[in-house]
Amino acid sequence: MTQTYEQVLAAVNRIMCETFNNQAIQLKYETTARDVAEWDSLNHIELVLAVEKHFMIRFNFVELQKFKNVGEMCDNIVSKLAQTGS
């Protein structure tokens, strides 16, 4: 069953709250690292790894460089899941 954008965003939000140890984070499509105090370079790596593990996907370097916000990352996840049929 393919996941919707909203389902993916909700899962990424939960993952980020756990990774950054901040349950108050509320992600939107346009959220960037500048919007989340805990989102530094080390937490970014931990977040990417946690997202990849949760969704059983892999981002390549080019994809990671192109993401301008959380929404673009979630769009990419939805696309990857649709390709694999997950």
The label of the residue with tokens 């909203």 reads 6
Name the token pair of 39: 């989102």
Q: Model-level pTM?
A: 0.93
pLDDT digits (tens, 9 = 90+) for 40-76: 999 999 999 999 999 999 999 999 999 999 999 999 9
Residue 67: which domain range? 5-84
Number of domains in the chain: 1
Task: Please say whether the beta carbons of 41 and 54 come within 8 A.
Answer: no
Could you tell me the CATH number of the domain that includes residue 56?
Answer: 1.10.1200.10
Give which of 76, 65, 60, 63 is closest to 8, Cα–Cα: 76
Percent of the chain with pLDDT over 70: 98
